[in-house]
Structure 1
Amino acid sequence: MATVRVQREDFDAGAEAAALARGRADVGAVVSFVGFCRDDGGRLAALELEHYPGMAEAEMARAAAEAEARWPLLGVTAIHRFGRIAPGEQIVLVAVASAHRGEAFAAAEMLMDFLKTRAPFWKRALMRDGTVGGWVEAREADDASAARWSAADR
């Protein structure tokens, strides 16, 4: 069963990944991805991330369940932060355990693609000069990445 959390506070990516394998002799690989807030060339003061409570967790759990149905996974953790996040801070973690690395890499990549396109999170830039950007729209590249995992690819 997957662990899915949406939280304001930071997370310990190493501890979360290690927990997937702790005490499990059947785990041969843990693949993790951590997404960070970039500084936009030094102009960004922070990102403001909002989410739809309840729905964000449900969509993350749905994506994790889809990965678990597609590959023989032994554990999944997905954490997404919300609130004000400064450049250099962590935003998202996806960690996947399996017996073999191929399944873990593929599942982690699919989960990140789905989180970027399906989970109801919104972000906007808070600039150092005091201006506030509009809410960021989804990018076509993110949609194209997620489309690779259509049910037809199973």
Structure 2
Amino acid sequence: MAVRVQTADFDLSTEIAALRAQDARIGAVVSFAGTVRDMNDGASVAAMELEHYPGMTEQALEKIVAQAAERWPLYGALVVHRVGPLAPLDQIVLVACTAAHRGEAFAACEFIIDYLKTDAPFWKKEQTPDGARWVDARVSDDAALAKWADR
């Protein structure tokens, strides 16, 4: 299980290959890659800056990954989250999970990204034609998180 917060971009193929390297038990690899959109809430987005609280952010991500590993029999999990200035099309986050079967890997990957969106201390500021704005939490992110309470 690994968590990284970094300014540098990441290569999906390299990260996935490293996660599953030489582990013949793995029958499923599920990944999610989030990218910067050029539109948000009806406004054009020219750039985004992600801020975090060093140390606290990594601990929060590690806790989320540990919770997923308690719920599902994972062989590995990886979260790579970028911070700093980003432009549309840039990768923001990678969540990847390995397991014996796809069900566990899909569920764990979705669980991790749902919790990351609500519980990890990241702050987003977008540059729009009307100036800079901080991005508030979405109701849809809270709804996605709520579904895990019953599972």
Instruction: Please give the TM-score of this superposition, normalised by the length of structure 2.
Output: 0.94
Residues 120-146 of structure 1 show CA distances to partners (whole Å, capped at 9, x for unaligned) of 00101112x47212x111111101101
Give the drift of 1:43: 2.6
Asked if 1:100 is matched to 2:101, the reply is yes
Alignment of 1:42-53 (within 5 A): 43-53=44-54
**Cα RMSD over matched residues?**
1.4
Aligned to 2:23: 24
SS of equivalent residue, structure 2 residue 110 = helix
How many residue pairs get matched? 149
Residues 94-152 of structure 1 show CA distances to partners (whole Å, capped at 9, x for unaligned) of 0000000000000000000000000000101112x47212x1111111011011112x4
Distance 1:130 1:138, change over 3 A: closer
Instruction: Please give the TM-score of this superposition, normalised by the length of structure 1.
Output: 0.92
SS of equivalent residue, structure 1 residue 124 = strand
Asked if 1:131 is matched to 2:150, the reply is no
Aligned to 1:142: 141
Q: Runs in 1 of length 4+ with deviation above 4 angstroms?
A: none
Distance 1:25 1:146 in 2: 32
Give the drift of 1:22: 1.2
Residues 42-81 of structure 1 show CA distances to partners (whole Å, capped at 9, x for unaligned) of 8322101101111110010000000000000000000110
* Aligned-partner residue type, residue 125 of structure 1: E
Alignment of 1:3-152 (within 5 A): 3-40=2-39, 43-127=44-128, 129=129, 131-133=131-133, 135-150=134-149, 152=150
Distance 2:33 2:57 in 1: 18
Unmatched 5+ residue regions in structure 1?
none
* Aligned-partner residue type, residue 113 of structure 2: M
